[in-house]
Amino acid sequence: MRRSNRSAGAGIAAIAAIILVVGGTGLALFLQHEKSRELTSWRNTLDITADTRTREVGQWVQTRFKELTALSENASLQIYFTQLPTDEATADEPPAQAQYLRSLLALTAQRLEFEPTAPSLSQQVGASVGTPEQGGLALVDRNGKLLVSTSRMPKLDEAAIAAAPKGETSLIDIATSEDGKQTVGFIVPVYGVQGERTAAAQIGSIVGITPLNDSFYGMLAAQNGSMKTLEVALLRSEGDSARYLTPLRDRSPLMSRREEGANSAAASAIATPQQFGQMLDYRSTPVLFTAREVPNTPWTLIAKIDRAEAFGAAAQWRNTVIAAVSLLMLALIASIVGIWRNASARQSLRAANEAGARAELLAAVANHQPEPLYIVDAQQRIWFTNRQAAELMQAKPADLRGKELSSAIGAAYAQSLAPAIERTLEEGAAQAVDLQRGNAKAPRTINARLVPLAHIPVAGLPEPTPGVLVVEQDITDALSEREHRSQTLQQLVQVIVSRIDRRDPHAAEHSAKVATLAAGTARSMGLDSAMVDTTETAARLMNLGKMDIPAEWLTRSGKLKTEERDTIRNAVATSAELLAGIAFTGPVAETLRQSQEFVDGTGPASKKGDQILISARIIAAANALVGMLSTRAWRDGMKLDEAMQTLQQGSGKQFDRKVITAMANYLDNLGGAQYMAGETKPTAKTGS
């Protein structure tokens, strides 16, 4: 009997050890995953903040340059500017030209807020309140000498203005005056009426000095009250250090804070913009940060938040999870010991303890999740909600138990979620779907992640009761920012392509036609949207290498020299080299590099068949077809049927048979032939 008890005791000890090892390992892996997820979430938050504020500051600077440029192109200003006497001091009264220009500058200065009308934030961080802020507009000659200015215009550094680059706009960096107020300046060239817009033709400049006030600082102010230590500021590089230019949360004097050393957040932000890091800031406080360069300025924008605030709630939640899991493991071990001592008498008690521990753990973990979380069964009845989900459904968790999902969260949203719930239960695998919530005026995009459960861990349900755990995340802002970046990239590509095509009138819109044909062929092959976008972008940029080829080579009707012909043929390879360092979402540069390969392996790199990217095989065929259809300086273009017949002759040798078949389907059945003939514009059906 003793030997039997000892064996049972050893077995219980072994089971307890297994529970501790497995439970501890699982807990460590789970917490590590949650730390990584939390870090990624903060990176996304700071990235969106930095991108938004950088765009606002850049637009603020660009708007003032644009307005002053428009003023410099005013014909009356240009005429009166050239009529101003070289030495106004010799006149008893200001000449009529000077009076007109001063009035014009005053009206513009008030409209563009170069002349301040209200106290600024700089007055709240140490400036004397009674002193009026200085700012305004002035006209200077080519040598920086002041000719005309508004009444509050501060004294100008004529030597520095004269040294500014001619023929282009310049920024006078942020500076702090003796009374502690900040200003920033703009220099815009002035040319004669109908004169050339060159450095040599510049006759003078418009100089604008504007005080920085709440309208400017407001673009950097924290807009989310829940993030108490969030700070957005402008930086400037000063040797090996970085100086903060704008007001800070600690209300230190303007431009008094500076960080030195490669391990400081500000210095690292200037050295490597776009990065996301964890370092010490000017208070020697650990922070999370990211940065962006502000276009057309010497400034870098940094967005940062104290690490303690960022991970404080998460750390408290992790401690709760550790405590709950520890209690759960102890409860399990205690239950096993209870079974060993009295299996029949303690069995129901052990089950109750386990159920209570599971419920306690589930509630502790779920309520510390930042996203709404709930569990439904196959009939879409709710059996558990965390605090965030209950707030979303505007009810208490206890009142939601057993309630139908459609009545708690809305019939339309529940109906759109229903297929994903059914698929998750049928396949027994996690799913992720994007759904729409809200009304037409304020739609929101929700990413719902669904995880199958063999049994819903809620007391009182018959076992097993399969269910689905649903975790929701609002991704509306992230999608909006991604769409903005995509549109900006497409606009940039279009500008570059139009500049390239204008250099060769015989190849105008060549890149656009190849891109449309290639995109339509890719869709005809059933490729995913990412590969279609990669194919279209690469096709639009394939002639980028022609920028360095003399225009007379491209338009010559006679025979080209061998060197000239080889240079033009290598333009696509040159384009690939120029684009190699740009981080597109797909392999754009490699697509262009491989587009000169032949499917039979006789190309430059001897790649063959499926070794060549499908996007490269599509572009090779599309470029060849558009080239045969296009009129050149030395020949007329082919007809479509003749060009397709020539293309098919190279099928299996130079071109992929599958690509030629898909291209023929696009041309014959999906509107491609009408587009290539110029009868229609590209649409979602015809490509592009």
DSSP per-residue string spanning 325-347: HHHHHHHHHHHHHHHHH-HHHHH
Closest by CA position to 123, among listed 255, 214, 208? 214
Cα 38 to Cα 569: distance, rounded to the nearest angstrom: 50
- The amino acid occupying position 433 is V
Whole-angstrom CA distances from 520 to 77, 216, 501, 661, 674 are: 52, 46, 21, 12, 13
Q: Which two tokens stand for residue 133?
A: 């802020």
Cα atoms in the 13 Å half-sphere on the side-chain side of 181: 22
Question: What CA–CA distance (Å, rounded) separates 171 from 165?
Answer: 11
Question: What is the rounded end-to-end Cα distance, in angstroms, of the chain?
Answer: 83
Q: Tokens standing for 507?
A: 């190849």
Question: Residue 172: what pLDDT?
Answer: 93
**Neighbour order of strands in the sheet with 467-474:** 382-385, 373-377, 467-474, 444-453, 431-437
What's the alpha-carbon Rg for the chain, to the nearest Å?
A: 34
Helix/strand/coil for 511? helix
DSSP 655: B
Q: Which two tokens stand for residue 427?
A: 């396949």
C-alpha to C-alpha distance for 385 and 409, rounded to whole angstroms:
12
pLDDT, averaged in runs of 10, over the chain (688 residues): 56 71 72 84 90 93 93 89 67 73 90 70 40 82 92 89 92 82 93 87 93 87 76 90 90 87 84 88 91 93 91 72 72 70 51 54 66 88 86 83 85 86 89 80 82 84 87 80 69 69 65 90 92 91 76 63 68 81 85 91 91 94 88 74 90 92 91 79 47
Taking Cα atoms as reference points, which of 448, 457, 449 lies closest to residue 364? 457
* Chain centroid to CA 294: 14
Residue burial 605-622, b: 16+ Cβ < 10 Å; e: rest = eebeeeebbbbbbbbbbb
Q: What is the four-CA torsion angle of 666, 671, 674, 680, rounded to 10 degrees?
A: -130
Provide the token pair at 320. 């709760």
Write down the pLDDT at residue 11: 66
Long-range contacts of 247-251 (CB under 8 A, 24+ apart): 247/121, 247/122, 247/125, 247/217, 248/282, 250/283, 251/125, 251/126
Bridge partner residues of 189 (DSSP): 205
- The C-alpha atoms of residue 270 and residue 300 are separated, in whole angstroms, by 6
Its sign, for the CA torsion 158, 162, 164, 170, is: positive
Give the residue from 686, 627, 675, 687 showing the smallest Cα distance to 654.
627
Cα–Cα distance between 500 and 484 in angstroms, integer?
25
Q: Is the C-alpha dihedral spanning 498, 500, 502, 508 positive or negative?
A: negative
410-416: long-range contacts, CB 8 A cutoff, minimum separation 24: 410/437, 413/437, 414/380
Q: How far are the Cα atoms of 60, 87, 511 from residue 254, in angstroms, in the given order?
A: 21, 38, 51
- pLDDT (0 to 100) of residue 299: 94
Sign of CA dihedral 15, 18, 20, 23: negative
